[in-house]
Amino acid sequence: MITRRLFLALPLLATPAFAANRRIVVLGGSLAEIVAALGAEGELVGRDTTSTFPPSLLALPDVGYVRALSPEGVLSLTPDLILAEPDAGPPPVIEVLRAAGTQFVTIPGAPTAAGVVAKIEATAAALGLPEQGAALAAQVAAEIATAQALPAPTPLRVLFVLSLQGGAVMAGGEGSSAEGIIHMAGGVNVGLGFDGFKPMTDEAVLAADPQAILVMDREGELSITPEMIAAHPALGRTTAATEGRIVAMDGMLLLGFGPRTGQAAAALHQALYGDAG
């Protein structure tokens, strides 16, 4: 079985640096990437656990997982500005942070080309860097357009599997970030009939019969290996498993929809189609 594993530590876009004395905490990996790409990484004083690219961010204090934050961890860093993705939480914590007197900005995001552009522009506006934001947005939009223009004569049916805990297939459904990147790469998402990330029955998996299975490349109890897929009663009987078309990519690169989105889509296209696309 051939498994393509893509990590892609891609370089950030060059942008002018912006010097200021603000203290910024970022809650969301894609926002952290945007802040860094805009040249404002030096203003960051804290990050959430998903903010791992560029690697230099790992030196910052970690305030916890973006959906399981505590107000004490964030406010202990005395930020002047908190930038958050829409799914930052839990909601009671966000209410406390909003009421703390610190500027709190939720940045919109959607797993589409327009959504990435809007996210970059909104982040740049919050930082007071509109010109840098416009330049970055234009460059990223061009990269996404280039990836979407790559040929895929016969689009492959792709299933994104988020987890296999207890043998249950947690898949990417309609409107999910997984569907967004699959479409950008010229594939067809077979996670239909449900929104977001939800369990998919073995019967539904077999009926969909994906030609490729896409997973996040990670270690530990949440890892999904080719051997696990082959041993699964449904996934192991799919065309993807029998033909060995399993793609593992870094989760933030794949699903973050930040500045590297176009590069991620191009890399996924290459993994799915090779030179035949």
Average pLDDT over residues 148-162: 94
DSSP state for residue 170 in the 8-state scheme = E
Q: What is the pTM of this model?
A: 0.90
pLDDT tens, 211-223? 999 999 998 888 9
Please report the pLDDT score of residue 4 as a whole number: 53
**What's the whole-number average pLDDT of the chain?**
93
All domains of the chain in start order, with CATH? 19-128 (3.40.50.1980), 152-276 (3.40.50.1980)
Question: Looking at the predicted structure, is the pLDDT value of residue 276 above 90?
Answer: no
Quote the pLDDT of residue 7: 43
Give the model's confidence band at 277: pLDDT under 50 very low, under 70 low, under 90 confident, else very high: low
**Which pLDDT tens digit goes with each residue over 47-60?**
999 999 999 999 99
* Phi, psi torsion values for 41, nearest 5 degrees: -60, -30
Q: What's the Cα-to-Cα distance from 93 to each of 96, 168, 205, rounded to whole Å?
A: 5, 31, 37
Residue 12 clears pLDDT 90, i.e. is over it: no
Beta-ladder partners of 103 = 81
